[in-house]
């Protein structure tokens, strides 16, 4: 993979415990190649990261799972959050 690692990303995430939504800036590191779809020419990588809820009354450890999609030119195409726990 030729994508720059780590990848800086930001998005709004809703805490599963307190339901507050905040903007988080985080780094995507330790990505692992996932099983490609037969019809896809793009490369897909999975990641797992943890964030702490910004609500001072909560401080819940949020687990974020997602995918990084790379086009055939080895350029970042998209980042998808697949699970927030």
pLDDT digits (tens, 9 = 90+) for 4-47: 678 889 999 999 999 999 999 988 888 888 866 666 678 889 99
Q: Return the DSSP state at 57.
A: T
Name the pTM for this structure: 0.79
For 14, phi then psi, to 5°, come to: -95, 125
Q: Where do the domains of the chain lie? A: 9-84
């Amino acid at each position: 993979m030729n994508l720059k690692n780590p990848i800086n990303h930001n998005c709004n995430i809703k805490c599963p415990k307190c339901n507050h939504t905040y903007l988080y800036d985080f780094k995507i590191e330790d990505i692992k190649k996932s099983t490609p779809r037969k019809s896809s020419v793009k490369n897909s990588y999975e990641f797992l990261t943890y964030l702490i809820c910004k609500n001072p009354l909560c401080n819940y450890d949020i687990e974020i799972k997602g995918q990084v999609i790379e086009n055939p030119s080895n350029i970042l195409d998209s980042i998808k959050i697949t699970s927030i726990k």
